[in-house]
Copies of this chain bind each other. A is one copy, B any other.
């Protein structure tokens, strides 16, 4: 494919050079405008593609490393063909080692290990059963044999395919079931033509093991990418994104737009959007992480479920923020005096929740017990209380149009929801901190104290 792409690029560049020459000559240029246009189009597309690839590499240099690792693993197992003593013992079966490397080698250690273990166990199990099926079919004579084998192949394929629909099994053993079907069919069918079935199974199992272990060893030893670490970082960075939005929201919402300035030019306020759809990614990473052995600060039975719980709460908070974001751009017309009355408390609520989320995110990242988060949450809860007092005190005069109050009240109410969500997130991060015995570090600078004397206030 890449050779094709390179050929494609070269021919595109050739076309471009040719068209430049024709421009110089001035003769053909007028005669062949379509070639010029086409060449320009192709050049643009190729350049776009290359800049996309460069960006992919810059965004995550581990991708480049992974590609080199994949090339290395494949080149290593191809030694089976080149090196005579190795080829002697395996022959064409060495092919299975190559196939195993191509399909098992994945980006993260967990994914590679999961696929490797699935492939190895499924090959062992299916090989054993296929030998048994072959022996049974042998009893039914030369004519009965293909019929009995056919029935076995049909039944196992149908049942295994159906079991693959089961969500719990699909999540962890889908690839194993696929390999089970594949190996059982291949070995039981091959047995019909080749009586040395046991040797076939033995060779296949050995080559799969060699291919699989090559993948796992390279994956673990050469710049390993741990799915667990990725999940850990994803959960922390999702929280941070919400924090960034909330820290910016108050100022942004209450600020009056200046001449010609559009509120929508705020990319830092749009980072939270990726959190809305993060469930699939989190689930996949958690599934891979479960296969991973102890590494760095992560144990084998790390509480990945707790990470998913925190992720779900973060998403819940992101849904509220999505509603808030709708108001950021919709209520520009609301009156200044209405907004300014609750500006301070709302900004504090938003700012303090944002700070708490960023603090919690940092606590997860560094695996240090969150220290200031509770204080920020208490501050935001105090603001909720202040808002209550403000509303009770009959802040609005009789002439205030209730219609103008509704959007501002909604923002306030959504912020109260966000404070509740943040408190829930903090609670589950604290649970995680207890489970993993996060370090306790005394901060050098003490954060601001709660604004009221009664910080522990139930919020509606």
Residues of B within 8 A of A158 (CB): 67-68, 70-71
Contact, CB under 8 Å: B406 / A413: yes
Known: A70-B158, A319-B322, A323-B417. 16 other contacts (CB 8 A): A3-B156, A52-B166, A56-B165, A70-B161, A81-B190, A81-B192, A81-B193, A82-B189, A87-B193, A92-B193, A276-B315, A323-B414, A326-B417, A391-B403, A409-B410, A410-B413
Annotate A419-431 by CB proximity to B: 1 below 8 A, 0 otherwise: 0000000000000
**Could you jot down 15 A-B contacts, CB within 8 Å?**
A1-B177, A53-B163, A66-B161, A66-B162, A67-B157, A67-B161, A74-B157, A95-B190, A98-B189, A391-B403, A394-B402, A406-B412, A407-B460, A409-B409, A410-B410
Residues of B within 8 A of A261 (CB): none
- A10 contacts the other chain (CB 8 A): no
Residues of B within 8 A of A176 (CB): 1
- A129 contacts the other chain (CB 8 A): yes
Residues of B within 8 A of A156 (CB): 2-3
Residues of B within 8 A of A195 (CB): none
Residues of B within 8 A of A303 (CB): none
Annotate A376-399 by CB proximity to B: 1 below 8 A, 0 otherwise: 000000000000100110111010
Known: A67-B158, A70-B157, A392-B403. A82 touches B163 (CB 8 A): no
Annotate A56-75 by CB proximity to B: 1 below 8 A, 0 otherwise: 11000001101110111011
Interface of A is mostly: helix
Contact, CB under 8 Å: A178 / B277: no
- A357 contacts the other chain (CB 8 A): no
Contact, CB under 8 Å: A5 / B163: yes
Annotate A156-194 by CB proximity to B: 1 below 8 A, 0 otherwise: 111111110110000001001110111001100110110
